[in-house]
Amino acid sequence: DSGVTQTPKHLITATGQRVTLRCSPRSGDLSVYWYQQSLDQGLQFLIQYYNGEERAKGNILERFSAQQFPDLHSELNLSSLELGDSALYFCASSVETGSGNTIYFGEGSWLTVV
Amino acid sequence: AQTVTQSQPEMSVQEAETVTLSCTYDTSESDYYLFWYKQPPSRQMILVIRQEAYKQQNATENRFSVNFQKAAKSFSLKISDSQLGDAAMYFCASLGGRRGGGADGLTFGKGTHLIIQP
């Protein structure tokens, strides 16, 4: 158990809908990352938050947004869903130390768009 | 930008034998970190081993060790005494900068599927 908690574990929704994925980082971790794993695109970095502020942005679509709350949990919002958004969405967290980051992953949220 | 290349889509090894998974990377960062993650059929991403680029000594974790060749930008993973539970996808990844993050977060290779033959 990595200590990173993601909900829901599985989600099936229709095209055009909106969903929210939730992540609780490991205790003490200030950074939260979101990744998408699909069959054709591999593992793609979406976005990173550090202590409530956006730190880095990767290949995140405009239809997607994220935020990190004062209690450090994070949510990834996916809207106007398309079939191609079906994927495994990972949240990861890390504590930034002087020796750099070690990033731990949650178990992922499986999203199926039908 | 960083790139990570795993040239072996699939590897097979006999149980109890040793196997080496290859990884090469490219980065413009002067300070970076390299990782191997294991993804079993459950799809959970499990950290196997971590290497700081500024350390010359190769990282080891029990049966797992790396061969880090900084000049060649090579970062291979050696699994000794392979066990059935080692069967999984293995991803090599890089992370740039002392504080991490940056424009790319963790950059992953496409993975190597490791099969353990009993």
Q: Rounded to whole angstroms, how far apart are CA atoms A106 and B98? A: 23
The β-bridge relationship of strands A19-24 and A74-78 is antiparallel
Q: What residues in A contact B99, CB-CB < 8 Å? A: 96, 100-101
Q: What residues in B contact A101, CB-CB < 8 Å? A: 33, 95, 99-100
pLDDT value, residue A97: 55
Q: Which residues pair with B108 in a beta bridge?
A: B93
Tokens of A80: 């106007």
- Hey, are the CB atoms on B45 and A31 less than 8 Å from each other? no
Nearest CA distance, B43 vs chain A (angstrom): 7
Nearest residue of chain A to residue B108 (CA atoms): A43
Model confidence at A95, pLDDT cuts 50, 70, 90, reads: confident
Nearest CA distance, B61 vs chain A (angstrom): 15
- Hey, are the CB atoms on B99 and A108 less than 8 Å from each other? no
Q: What residues in A contact B41, CB-CB < 8 Å? A: none
pLDDT value, residue B102: 45
Does residue A70 have a cis peptide bond before it, meaning omega lies within 30 degrees of 0?
no
Residue A91 exposure: Cα atoms within 13 Å on the Cβ side: 32
Q: What residues in A contact B102, CB-CB < 8 Å? A: 56
List CB contacts of B62: < 8 A, sequence separation 6 or more.
none
- Hey, are the CB atoms on A50 and B33 less than 8 Å from each other? no
pLDDT value, residue B103: 46
pLDDT, tens digit (0-9, with 9 covering 90-100), for A8-58: 999 999 999 999 999 999 998 999 999 999 987 789 999 999 899 998 888
pLDDT, tens digit (0-9, with 9 covering 90-100), for B13-53: 999 999 999 999 998 887 888 999 999 998 999 999 999 88
pLDDT, tens digit (0-9, with 9 covering 90-100), for B81-114: 999 999 999 999 998 764 544 445 788 999 999 9
A60 touches chain B (CB under 8 A): no
A104 touches chain B (CB under 8 A): yes
Nearest CA distance, B37 vs chain A (angstrom): 10
Q: What residues in A contact B52, CB-CB < 8 Å? A: 99-100
- Hey, are the CB atoms on B105 and A43 less than 8 Å from each other? no
Q: Rounded to whole angstroms, how far apart are CA atoms A110 and A89? A: 6
